[in-house]
Amino acid sequence: PVAVGVAEDSFEKAVGELTKYRRLIRRPNKDNENLPVIFNDYMNCLFGDPTTEKELPLIDAAAQCGCEYYVIDAGWYAPGEWWDSVGEWQECRERFPGGIREVTDYIHGKGMVPGVWLELEVMGINCGKAKKVPDDWFFVRHGKRVFDRSRYQLDFRNPAVIAHVNEVIERVVNEYGVGYIKMDYNIEPGIGTEIGAESVGQGMLAHERAYLAWLDDVFARYPDLVIENCSSGGLRIDYALLSRYSIQSTSDQEDYRNYATIAANAGAGVTPEQAAVWSYPMRQGDKEEVIYNMVNAMLGRVHQSGHLAELSEERTELVKEGIACYKKIRSDIKKAVPFYPLDVTDNEDMWACGGLQTKNKAYLAVWKRQMEGKNNDRRQKVGTVCSETMLSIPLDSLPFAGDGIKVSCLYPEKETVSFAVERGVLTVIFEKPVMARLFVVEG
């Protein structure tokens, strides 16, 4: 299937049409209705090195901040360096002496739903099971198994492969008590497989259709299971997958200042209620750094991370406030469409801006990152005025625009900034080099 979004006069309106279409073709699910807040232990936090000892204080902190899901990311299944040995997905007792169920039960006890990381489409070249099974479990070209980055690509046309991945799903859900799976995919296996096909492209197409059929079956058996389409931090953002998966990783960008570009533009590729954006307050940071991180995620799906248990009380309160604010606006996010008052954001821009609009309300994120290499003089829209401390934002594209519009700073409430609205233009003043705020605009 192919869809074309048509609009008379703007990229923004075309994206709005595509957003509505994407919602129409998507599997109905509770995740996209409720937009729960997810904590994941990976980004700028445990980075694939989880243990029971490390998880417990993070679980406490995530619960205290208002998170509703808690995901144990990569590494729970193997000690040490595990990249080329993955594939069997059994809990690692060296990392979790009491078993992973001890940790997932603790997560449940804190009122959150537990999750784990998987990469089910691959087996590492040093995986014990990969050495025992026949070649027809994998993509094959020129008579040899295809591998990339030390992993083989499984072939989902093979019933034995389906039995293998189903066993893993059943085990993590029923034995480990998991309600969320972060499904990763970190290889590029090329043009297909020659086994059972007249061409490698035919083999690829049949495999992809088999994978989608398998996903449909998983969701039929586990309708409340949330599966994130991580795919190497956004490698595969497409609606063959996203008509099934309810949530999509947008990036594994480690610099929160650069993440603003992704957050501002993500709505062009994925509905906002499916767009998972990291917020990871740093161990060494200040209030503005926390605010910036939270604003990054608040118009998509909050993917909270960072060493929350080690933040000062003042910075922790800003995380709590951000999550509480998100919970108040998420019912609007799931029906809003993107708008770009300064056009799409470039990573060289010092100022970034992006928002979501409904019929009578809009949410607007504004970022400033005064960094080496950023172009302070770029004008994203004719008539826009900006300097190192001031930015004017025209709001005339909003359906309720007019002289009577009202603007208020939604987050944070106490860390105020100067702003004013005149003749449909919002002017903000950000005095510090790196800042962000979330505004609400009402007709």
pLDDT tens-digit profile of 190-203? 999 999 999 999 99
Look up tokens 């994203």; give the residue.
380
pLDDT band at 6 (very low <50, low <70, confident <90, very high): confident
pLDDT in tens, 208-263: 999 999 999 999 999 999 999 998 888 899 999 999 999 999 999 999 999 999 99
Position 401 confidence tier, pLDDT thresholds 50, 70, 90: confident
> In the chain, pLDDT over 70 holds for what percent of residues?
98
* Whether pLDDT at 156 is above 70: yes
Interior/surface letters 100-123, b for 16+ CB within 10 angstroms, e for the rest: bbebbebbeebebbbbbbbbbbbb
Q: Determine the angle formed by the axes of helices 313-333 and 52-65, rounding to 10 degrees.
A: 60
CA angle in degrees (0–180, nearest 5) for 278-213-333: 35
pLDDT at 374: 67
pLDDT at position 301, please? 98
Condensed to tens digits (0 to 9), the pLDDT of residues 295-333 reads: 999 999 999 999 999 999 999 999 999 999 999 999 999
pTM metric for this prediction: 0.96
Burial class (CB in 10 A: 0-12, 13-18, 19+), 14: middle
Task: Output the pLDDT for position 235.
Answer: 85
